[in-house]
A and B are shown apart, each in its own frame.
Chain A
Amino acid sequence: MSPRLRLGIVGFDHPHVLRFAPMLAAHPDVDLEWISADGPNRAAAEAMARDLGTRFVAEPAGGIDAAYLAVRPGRHLEVVRRLAPEGVHLLCDKPIALSADDGRAIVENARAAGVHLMVPFNPRGQLGPRAVKERIDHGALGEIRLVHVVKVGKVPLSIPGIDASWLLDPTEAGFGGFGDIGLHAVDALRWLIGREATRVYARIHKGPHPELAVDSIGTATIEWEGGAIATVTAGWVNPDGYPSFLDARFEVVGTEAAARVGHPYQDLRLADANRSERIAVSRTDALWNIDAFVQSVRRDVEPPITGEDGLRALEIMLACYRSSELGEEIVLA
């Protein structure tokens, strides 16, 4: 096992970085060497570097074993082409890319360079879905027949500490609220069902936010090898007054048993005269993703969520959008 991991953070655009950066800095097996960023979030990255006692660099510097990519997804390929040949292992935030071609190129570059590539998805690290997955693997649910995932959040307009407005720009983000949040759910389905999707039908639209340039709500019906049917409902639909930014719900029905997961986080409940809030005690999902990456690199084993997983989730998501546009079912290759 290699000793401590020297890690750099490339970019400060993805909202996950606000959680991942302090967690990486605090990780007992990680030395956070630097944070680099340009564009509108440069000042936020500098402030975070100061807070965490690490260096801010304008350009990705050397001297690292691994990097966390929090640049906009359209820039992932360029960063991977630069870092992978230097032997840098990659934690590349989702979506892996804006197009399947770029996603494939990223996977190929990492493979050719012999570096580990992981794409983090939250439900994989959430205790409820993990408990269900464990029972599926032990055969307690039998053959999976029907799955519903609902995963919704607020419009990412006023995330304190970061300018995430690129998520509302279709050329920068690739898609809107359905894709942004639903990608986690699509990966969760592949993971829970343990098979590949075969057909997709989706309705995606602007829903409650006609003022945005991108969609904010959608539902997809996905058919899987073996005949299971699943739905994904996702988007930015929680109003300002909603007690939490994110919430999720899973229902997994097999031939032997059914399981249901409510809100995935352990919460404090706080109320004042104006509103009631749920405040997560800890984000076990983010901690799990970071630790899974760190330990995979240290032990030189394949990460639990690979670049191929990130690519497959992206391909399913792109098929959802194509289905919604054409108004018909899409058969996946």
Chain B
Amino acid sequence: MTLDVGIIGVGNIFEKGYVPAFEATEALRVVAVSDLDPGRAEAAARRLGGAPRVVTPGELLGQGDVEAVLILTPTHTHAELAIAALEGGKHVLCEKPMARTPADARRMAAAAANAGRRLMIGHTRRFDDRWTALHDQLRSGRIGEPVHVFRSEHAFNGAPGEAWQWQDDQSGGALWDVGVHVAELFHWFLGDVPLTAFTKVNHSRPESQAGGAPDVAVVTFDFGPSRHAVLSVSWIHPPAWGPFYATTEIVGTGGRLEYHDQDGHPAIVVGSEIEIPRYSPLLSSVSTAFRREIEHFAHAIATETPFAVSVEDAIVAVDMVDAAERSARSGRPEAVTR
């Protein structure tokens, strides 16, 4: 069975994540493509097989053969687009963060419930072997109960200064855009919602200073008297650092569990300088995780089974990052709304 989908927004994540995924799968078929930039939509349609129609975002919801809509647009547009699609009778797969505010996220959840349509948020980490392997080990109990988690996701953000990623009201910067992935993992790994968040942010690069979106954030989530998780996200690492290299260190009551992307060097090339060629742009996410994510979306709709990452999970991640953002402003630990 094939799920016929329409896509809104064919920017960076479409290019890096979804194009290879659609090339690899037969579980979904793109029948319509739209973007605010019609030229970019035309180019995207040519890259996908099956000759999808190019339509305006407004026209997409009127396409009768579109069963589900993939929303791959800037964060601050997710809520309106998703609500319109759900109310128009479409299922929705929406990129993370679910929304720019907790209120928007809850409006999206309510729209899905009222319309009786399925809504999934693209928390790709749940489909990535690196993080499922960590989760499997945690669940096995070999290191006991996790009491300390530190995770960093560091990269260079090459988007131009005028891009939405650098505008605080549109993206929330590295804190929201990357931090929401890490928050979601903490919620998944620890199986719990933290009490508070304490945050330090920096506006280090000129793009960040101009747009107001923080490019460094360090957040401590307090999960109770003897449990905490700390995230560090950065868009200021130099371009040659590589793409979103992650470090995860977990201390449990009975052992340690670690994963470091940069410990596994696929090759070292020595010429007049030493070069360490890194993985493909989004590591193993590219080859497997996005494909698994969209196939899971299609399969769960066809079989009427729950999504691996629920709307409630995605709302918790938004609540965590929202508390972190409030803390960055207040200078105090802020409660995570439940």
Contact = CB atoms under 8 A, between A and B. Distances in A.
The yes or no verdict on A and B being binding partners is: yes
Interface of A: 145-146, 148, 150, 201, 203, 205-208, 210, 217, 219, 221, 223, 227, 229, 231, 233, 235, 237-239, 241-242, 251, 253, 255-258, 260, 262, 327-329
Given A150-B249, A223-B200, A239 B262 contact: no
Contacts of A260: 262
Contacts of B332: 328-329
A207 B333 contact: no
B232 interface: yes
Most-contacted residue by chain B among A146, A206, A237 (CB, 10 A): A146
Contacts of B218: 146, 221, 229, 231
A258 B247 CA distance: 15
Given A207-B147, A255-B236, 11 more contacts: A146-B202, A203-B228, A206-B226, A208-B251, A210-B226, A229-B202, A231-B218, A231-B232, A237-B148, A241-B255, A329-B331
Contacts of B263: 262
A258 B262 CA distance: 13
B47 interface: no
A233 B238 contact: no
B150 A257 contact: no
Contacts of B252: 208
A227 B249 CA distance: 26
B25 interface: no
Interface in B168-201: 196, 198, 200
Contact of B333 (A205, A255, A328): A328
Contacts of A255: 204-205, 236
A146 B251 contact: no
A150 to B, nearest CB: 7
A242 B262 CA distance: 20
Q: Which 5 A-B pairs have the closest CB atoms?
A: A203-B228, A207-B147, A205-B226, A237-B251, A229-B200
B85 to A, nearest CB: 39
Nearest to B221: A203
Contact of B236 (A146, A210, A233, A242): A146
A146 B263 CA distance: 20
Contacts of B323: none
Interface of B: 144, 147-148, 150, 152, 154, 196, 198, 200, 202, 204-205, 216, 218, 220, 222, 225-228, 230, 232, 234, 236-238, 241, 249, 251-256, 262-263, 331-333
B254 A239 contact: yes
Nearest to B250: A237
B230 A207 contact: no
17 contacts: A146-B216, A146-B232, A146-B234, A148-B232, A203-B228, A206-B226, A217-B148, A219-B220, A221-B218, A223-B200, A231-B232, A233-B150, A253-B236, A253-B237, A258-B154, A262-B263, A328-B333
A150 B202 CA distance: 21
Nearest to B203: A227
Contacts of B150: 150, 219, 231, 233
B333 A217 contact: no
A203 B147 contact: no
A229 B249 CA distance: 19
A262 B263 CA distance: 9
B230 A208 contact: no
Contacts of B220: 201, 203, 219, 221
A257 B198 CA distance: 27
B251 A203 contact: no
A227 B230 CA distance: 19
Nearest to B230: A219
A196 B220 CA distance: 22
Contact of B147 (A205, A227, A253, A262): A205
A262 B264 CA distance: 13
Nearest to B245: A260
B216 A233 contact: no
B199 to A, nearest CB: 9
A146 B236 CA distance: 9
B232 A227 contact: no
A241 B144 CA distance: 15
A239 B216 contact: no
A74 B205 CA distance: 46
Contacts of A233: 148, 150, 230, 249
B202 A237 contact: no
A187 to B, nearest CB: 20
Contacts of B144: 208
Contacts of A258: 154, 237-238, 241
A285 B228 CA distance: 31
Nearest to B251: A237
Nearest to A150: B249
Contact of B148 (A201, A207, A238, A327): A207
Contact of A231 (B147, B196, B230, B254): B230
A259 to B, nearest CB: 10
Contact of A203 (B200, B222, B238, B249): B222
A264 to B, nearest CB: 15
A303 to B, nearest CB: 32
A320 to B, nearest CB: 12
Given A223-B200, A229-B218, A328-B332, A208 B147 contact: yes
Nearest to A229: B200
B287 to A, nearest CB: 25
A282 to B, nearest CB: 24
Contact of A242 (B216, B222, B256): B256
A140 to B, nearest CB: 11
Most-contacted residue by chain B among A217, A229, A255, A260 (CB, 10 A): A229
Nearest to B148: A217
B152 to A, nearest CB: 7
A148 B260 CA distance: 14
A257 B147 contact: no
Contacts of B230: 219, 221, 231, 233
